[in-house]
Amino acid sequence: MPRDPVLTRAHALWEGLAAAPVSFSSPDGVDVAISPRSMVCPQGWAGFIVLQGRAIVTAPGPAAAIRGAIAALSVEDLVDPEMLGRVLPLAEVLGPATLAYIDERDFRAAPPGAVSVDRLSVEHPDLRRLEVSAGEQESEESGLREITSPAFAVRIHGKVVAAAGYRTWPSRTAHMSVLTAPEDRGRGWARLTGSAAVAHALESGLLPQWRARTPQSKRVAFALGFRELGAQLSARPS
């Protein structure tokens, strides 16, 4: 059976971020390793990445303890906070967030419309105004301030109402960021700006990654052609 090149690249990304010898091709289907330097999750937390029915886990302490605790869970249960909490005492959880990817074959660019997309620098003051209008929590969740690409923005009556871009991650991955002003949602601006950012990433030979926690974000990713391959969850043991 031919290998999926997008899945292969996603595997390489997260195995590298684990900063420990773990692999999605482990015979057990779940590979657990101690990794104090893991970038899969915040420092001191446990990180769980599930991709197409296989998983890697990075642990802050003895791997055997977590391996034994999760032995009775299915791979999908590893990114279910309720199921994971039944076997591991957890003080805090981040996620789950779905992980979706795209290549040139699957990309469905947003059709051009009457509204153009501007290209702005990440330091542009209009992007800061957009973040203020969206609120601190949503702005931080979007990651727009961390992008390394140009920002692709839509203006209505001179005001930036939506913007998208990406941050370059290891393994030539483009981690997508999209933010829309609350009063301007549901009008297609996230898809339009996201489409411009994805096109830029693909032209640069990068693998776009869309991490979503809300149904609205998932719908935008699906409209652009992203394939949901798995999920990510971080947990702080109590």
Tokens 């899969």, located at residue: 40
CA distances from 39 to 57, 126, 158 (A): 11, 31, 39
**pLDDT at position 2, please?**
59
The DSSP string of 199-215 is HHHHHTT-EEEEEE-SH
Helix, strand, coil fractions of the chain, as percent rounded to 5: 35, 30, 35
**DSSP type of residue 220:** H
- Please tell me the predicted confidence (pLDDT) of residue 1: 44
Secondary structure of 157-172 in the HEC alphabet?
A: CCEEEEEEEEEEECCC
DSSP string, 66-96: HHHHTTTS-TGGGG-HHHHHHHS-EEEEEEE
Q: Where are the domains of the chain?
A: 5-100+232-237, 118-227
Is beta strand 30-34 parallel, antiparallel or unpaired with respect to 173-180?
Answer: unpaired
What pLDDT does residue 115 have? 85
Those residues whose C-beta lies under 8 Å from the C-beta of residue 230, and which sit 6 or more positions away, are 10, 49, 50, 51, 52, 79, 98, 99
Tokens linked to 90: 């957890």
Q: Average pLDDT of each block of 10 consecutive residues along the chain (238 residues)?
A: 85 96 91 93 95 94 81 94 92 95 96 87 93 88 93 94 96 97 90 97 98 93 97 92
Q: What is the pLDDT of residue 112?
A: 81
Q: Are 162 and 181 in contact (CB under 8 A)?
A: yes
Nearest to 76 by CA among 51, 97, 41, 58: 51
CATH for 118-227 is 3.40.630.30
